[in-house]
Amino acid sequence: MEKVLLKFGLRNDRSLRILFAGYLAVLAAVVVPAFGGATNGFTLWLGLSSACVATALVLFATHHLRVTRENQRLAVVGERLEHQAHSDPLTGLMNRIAFNKVLAERSQAQVHGELAVLFLDVNRFKEINDSLGHKAGDVLLAQVARLLTDNLPDAVAVARMGGDEFAAILTVTKTTTPEACASAIAEGLQQPLLIEGRLVQSGAAIGIAYGNLAYDDGDDLLKHADIAMYEAKAAGVNGYRVFDDLMEERMSSRVSIRSELARALDTDELTLNYQPLVCAKTGELISVEALLRWNSPRLGQVSPAVLIPIAEESGQIIHLSNWVLDTGLAAIKTLGDVPVGINISPVHFRHSQFATILAEKLIAANVRPELLHLEITEGVLISHMEGAKKTIAQVRKLGCKVYLDDFGTGYSSLSYLQDFELDGMKIDKSFLRDLGERSQATQIMRSVVDLGHSLGLKVVVEGVESEWQARLLQLLNCDILQGFHFATPMVLADIAAFRKLHTAKAETSADLGSAERLSA
């Protein structure tokens, strides 16, 4: 039966089985009389046969029409699935699969003429998404997509690559340059956007890679644009960077640092040095600041200014910060009653359980909380104000001190200082540049010191490098001084000797002052 059905091009379904079974039954019923010579029997057989064949043809035509319509429906469904498989449902742009396919096809076609690949990452997306909710994050991504399509009308392809990352392929012309497009996109994203009833300011880091797909591999162009984007992001700019060979070297260096850092955390390659902070009036040791040092056998000396951003980007900063905290608390135990200041990464400080983790570490180390001074930057306060207020309050309830570090290098906003309960502020060394040489510089320093005191803060000045600066800052009523004039960062074992020496000097100075007053 199956072979017969297939011969007629029909499906092997129940209705067709019944049709053909009936047809064969009729043939069997009339074929005997037909061959018995009965004319009427033959006529009957012929009529029934014709009727069955006609019925079969009608059913076949109906079935063929049904199959055609089903095939058309499946084709439409297939096209829809194909579209869904290659587009981003949120923004309507291409997805990563489709973008890579276009890039590969153009590369295989040996397309001549200069092209550029743009790679974009939305600034502050995680913060906006976490604070305002996923719906707000989706709205922001949709607005980014519209901004891209508006500013890249002639793009070969525009795609959302995943998360808050986007990419585009542009044909380079004299009238439209990738730099101009990237600048317009970054500027558009920096404008306040209305999201869920709130004005939100974002921005973008954009990488640009030029190439000719007749000679350059598409995957390499995308990778180069990605590297340039990270350069823009690391620089903290709202704008773009154009890829060059030095960027690839730096990226390779960052990859090596990430890899080596994972090993260094488990092999005691990291150390802390300690720089003394002294009383501006007496020169006595007040506290020390713990400074991270890494002398890698493979990489050599790695500066904290290079290491910390890489660790924050890779997610290793939490492990690194915990190591610094544990080592710093052990140093407090060794020093006895000398407070230790520890710089806390914004990423670590924003962790929802930071205060709880800190409390557990204090208990485990068995040190007095007031001997731990945490130093945070202005960026922590500005970017996450409510969370920062809560964490600062929790830390101070534990008994630890909180200092605002590098005041004057970032936002330099005076208004937010009154919103946070801090113990002190550390004025950046840039304020010392023209101190004593320009009256404006001296007046600014005096105003900042007075501001700190009016808010009940201890005022520390960093970067003091001369006796002249130390004396002038003393006259300006600064509380604590730090810098190479007093001491360079040193190992923990040398702090005791430093303390003893400067205590003796302070006592001698006090004795001389008393003698002068008596003689007067």
**Which of 61, 85, 109 marks a domain boundary?**
85
Whole-angstrom CA distances from 114 to 82, 108, 190, 221, 246 are 30, 15, 29, 12, 21
Comparing CA positions, the residue from 191, 195, 194, 221 lying closest to residue 204 is 191
DSSP 2-38: HHHHHHTT----HHHHHHHHHHHHHHHHHHHHHHTT-
Report the predicted TM-score, pTM, of the whole model to 2 decimal places. 0.65
User: Is residue 430 a contact partner of residue 408, using CB atoms and an 8 Å limit?
Assistant: yes
Residue 204 has pLDDT above 80, yes or no: yes
Q: Please tell me whether residues 189 and 292 are part of one structural domain.
A: no
Helix axes of 304-314 and 317-335: crossing angle, nearest 10 degrees:
130
User: Is residue 29 a contact partner of residue 47, using CB atoms and an 8 Å limit?
Assistant: no
User: For residue 333, what pLDDT is reported?
Assistant: 92
Cα distance between residue 292 and residue 307, in whole Å? 10
Q: Specify which of 2-11, 55-64, 448-457, 509-518 reaches the highest per-range mean pLDDT.
A: 448-457
- 504 assigned to some structural domain: no
239, β-bridge pairs: 205
Cα distance between residue 37 and residue 245, in whole Å? 99
User: For residue 23, what pLDDT is reported?
Assistant: 54
Residue 27 has pLDDT above 80, yes or no: no
User: Which tops the pLDDT comparison, 399 or 154?
Assistant: 399
Residue 357 has pLDDT above 90, yes or no: yes
Residue 376 has pLDDT above 60, yes or no: yes
Instruction: Please tell me whether residue 103 adopts helix, strand or coil conformation.
Output: helix
User: What residues have CB less than 8 Å from 136, skipping those under 6 apart?
Assistant: 128, 129, 195, 196, 198, 200
Lowest mean pLDDT among 122-131, 158-167, 476-485: 122-131
- 471 assigned to some structural domain: yes
User: Is residue 462 a contact partner of residue 483, using CB atoms and an 8 Å limit?
Assistant: yes
Residue 220 has pLDDT above 80, yes or no: yes
User: For residue 158, what pLDDT is reported?
Assistant: 93
User: For residue 338, what pLDDT is reported?
Assistant: 94
- 91 assigned to some structural domain: no
- 302 assigned to some structural domain: yes
Beta strands per DSSP E along 202-269: 204-211, 239-242
- 505 assigned to some structural domain: no
The encoded tokens of residue 152 equal 């890249």
DSSP annotation of 262 reads H
User: Which tops the pLDDT comparison, 350 or 279?
Assistant: 279
Residue 32 has pLDDT above 50, yes or no: no
User: For residue 460, what pLDDT is reported?
Assistant: 97
Cα distance between residue 207 and residue 227, in whole Å? 7
Q: What is the mean pLDDT of residues 410-419?
A: 63
Tell me the residue range of the domain where 436 lies: 264-491
User: For residue 441, what pLDDT is reported?
Assistant: 87
Residue 52 has pLDDT above 60, yes or no: yes
CATH number, residue 379: 3.20.20.450
Burial state string for 229-264 with b = 16 or more CB within 10 A and e = fewer than 16:
bbbbbbeebbbbbbbeeebeebbeebeebbebbeeb
Residue 398 has pLDDT above 50, yes or no: yes
Give residue-wise pLDDT tens across range 420-472: 889 999 998 888 888 877 888 899 899 999 999 999 999 999 999 999 999 99
Amino acid at 380: V
User: Is residue 41 a contact partner of residue 5, using CB atoms and an 8 Å limit?
Assistant: no
Cα distance between residue 437 and residue 422, in whole Å? 31
Q: Specify the residue for token string 């913060």.
A: 127
Residue 9 has pLDDT above 70, yes or no: no
Cα distance between residue 39 and residue 43, in whole Å? 6
Q: Specify the residue for token string 């004005």.
A: 199
Give residue-wise pLDDT tens across range 77-131: 545 555 456 789 999 999 999 999 888 887 665 555 688 899 999 988 887 887 7
Q: What percent of the chain has pLDDT over 90?
A: 39
Q: Please tell me whether residues 272 and 414 are part of one structural domain.
A: yes
- 498 assigned to some structural domain: no
Q: Please tell me whether residues 449 and 477 are part of one structural domain.
A: yes
Residue 286 has pLDDT above 90, yes or no: yes
The CA angle 307-308-311, to the nearest 5 degrees, is 85
Q: Please tell me whether residues 114 and 30 are part of one structural domain.
A: no
Whole-angstrom CA distances from 32 to 26, 27, 28, 36 are 11, 9, 7, 6
Burial state string for 351-386 with b = 16 or more CB within 10 A and e = fewer than 16:
beebbeebbebbeebebebebbbbbbbbebbeebee
pLDDT, the chain, mean: 81
- 518 assigned to some structural domain: no
Q: Please tell me whether residues 33 and 104 are part of one structural domain.
A: no
User: For residue 132, what pLDDT is reported?
Assistant: 79
Residue 200 has pLDDT above 50, yes or no: yes
User: Is residue 118 a contact partner of residue 178, using CB atoms and an 8 Å limit?
Assistant: yes
User: For residue 519, what pLDDT is reported?
Assistant: 47
DSSP annotation of 371 reads G
User: Is residue 275 a contact partner of residue 481, using CB atoms and an 8 Å limit?
Assistant: no
Q: Specify which of 57-71, 240-254, 326-340, 370-384 reaches the highest per-range mean pLDDT.
A: 326-340
Q: Please tell me whether residues 289 and 196 are part of one structural domain.
A: no
Q: Specify the residue for token string 């001997």.
A: 371
Q: Please tell me whether residues 301 and 184 are part of one structural domain.
A: no
Cα distance between residue 218 and residue 220, in whole Å? 5
Q: 38 pLDDT band (50/70/90 cuts)?
A: very low
Output phi, psi for 377, to 5 deg. -95, 165
Q: Please tell me whether residues 326 and 363 are part of one structural domain.
A: yes
Residue 301 has pLDDT above 60, yes or no: yes
CATH number, residue 216: 3.30.70.270
Burial class (CB within 10 angstroms; exposed 0-12, middle 13-18, buried 19+) of 102: middle
Cα distance between residue 384 and residue 127, in whole Å? 8
Q: Specify which of 151-160, 309-318, 463-472 reaches the highest per-range mean pLDDT.
A: 463-472
Q: Please tell me whether residues 110 and 52 are part of one structural domain.
A: no
Q: Please tell me whether residues 278 and 389 are part of one structural domain.
A: yes
Q: Please tell me whether residues 406 and 319 are part of one structural domain.
A: yes
**Which of 85, 113, 135 marks a domain boundary?**
85
Strand bridging mode 165-171 / 401-407:
unpaired
Cα distance between residue 504 and residue 520, in whole Å? 24
**Which of 53, 85, 117 marks a domain boundary?**
85
Q: What is the mean pLDDT of residues 254-260?
A: 88
Structurally, the chain folds into a number of domains equal to 3
User: Which tops the pLDDT comparison, 379 or 98?
Assistant: 98
Instruction: Please tell me whether residue 482 adopts helix, strand or coil conformation.
Output: coil
User: For residue 475, what pLDDT is reported?
Assistant: 94
User: For residue 323, what pLDDT is reported?
Assistant: 95
User: What residues have CB less than 8 Å from 236, skipping those under 6 apart?
Assistant: none
Residue 253 has pLDDT above 60, yes or no: yes
Give residue-wise pLDDT tens across range 484-495: 999 999 999 999
Q: Please tell me whether residues 211 and 276 are part of one structural domain.
A: no
Cα distance between residue 490 and residue 498, in whole Å? 10
Q: What is the mean pLDDT of residues 374-378?
A: 89
Residue 76 has pLDDT above 60, yes or no: no
Q: 516 pLDDT band (50/70/90 cuts)?
A: very low
Mapped to the 3 state alphabet, what secondary structure does 170-184 carry?
EECCCCCCHHHHHHH
Comparing CA positions, the residue from 209, 519, 460, 511 lying closest to residue 341 is 460
Residue 48 has pLDDT above 70, yes or no: no
- 520 assigned to some structural domain: no
Q: Specify which of 65-74, 101-110, 130-139 reaches the highest per-range mean pLDDT.
A: 130-139
